[in-house]
Amino acid sequence: EGGGADVGWLDGNEILLEYAELSYELIEDSLIFKVGALLVPWGRFNLYHDDPYQDLTDRPLVATRIAVTAFDQPGVGAEGTFDLGGHWFLDYDVALTQGLDDNLTTNGGLRDGRQSFRSDNNENKHLWSRIVVSVPVTLLDILEVGGSANTGKHDDAGHFRNYGYGVELFVKRGPFELIGEYMSQRIERDASAPVADPRRQSGWYVDLNYHFFPGAWRGVHKLMTQASTFTLVLRVEGIDLNHSTSGTTFRDDLSQITFGVNFRPVERNVFKVSYTWVDSELAGYEPGASDRFVMAW
């Protein structure tokens, strides 16, 4: 993806490999072992991050600085689905990987803590996990409630640990969808570490989507197919990359509201337009200075 030659954290790789997995199904659907460059099961968005799936071009703040999309690491894992009866289902995904280093900052979040595939800064491994329960509700088409957790040591000596958890929700009824996540990470530090080194980070987002298409327009043009859809999108979100400080960096305390509309001639092909209002607590920040208009196909 993208060549990868100029990505410094890969330590000289010429190709950026996003995902490569060898899996073995031991028990049909319910126990699948996997090994490779795994997509880390830390939140919902990382596992469904491919752009054609998304109704907005920009990824949520929490999915770029705390959950870190697209986040892959060398490791081993297991996943599967259990039919709990009565139309209840439980999906799980766990992975053991090399983990993060101690470059966890008030501006970059966990993103800068990713390591090269070729090295690990300590002997500790990082455990990632995600569980989602599909709940049958008469008034809803889909109701999924999930949670994620992770833990591992990040410093070179292997003394200090990260603890992270997240909760997620996906609701669908007819043309309406509600998608939301909250994620929090605690970072152990030496008592002498400066307050600028974050000890807790968190973030959240909520997307409200409405899908529609006039029936009279279907089939009247090559772009107006039986599968064509318009979508209106509203996203509200925020991140706090250091709970001990306020506005230390632009991203330290950042909130956004995005409104967008997109058109899909077919499900996997989409034209997107959006506008984002940005607010930061950075000293001297002028409202509107970072607002942006985005178009993408």
Residue 189, phi then psi, degrees to nearest 5: -135, 160
pLDDT for res 220: 84
What letter would DSSP give residue 1? -
pLDDT for res 2: 47
Rounded-to-10 torsion of CA 255, 60, 235, 88: -130
DSSP string, 95-128: EEE----S--BTTTBTGGG---TT--SSS--EEE
pLDDT for res 16: 67
Tokens of 272: 């997107």
pLDDT for res 13: 56
**Closest alpha carbon to 166 in 185, 147, 193:** 147
Average confidence (pLDDT) per 10 residues, the chain, 297 residues: 54 68 94 94 88 91 89 94 95 95 90 85 94 96 97 94 96 97 95 92 97 90 88 97 92 96 92 97 91 95
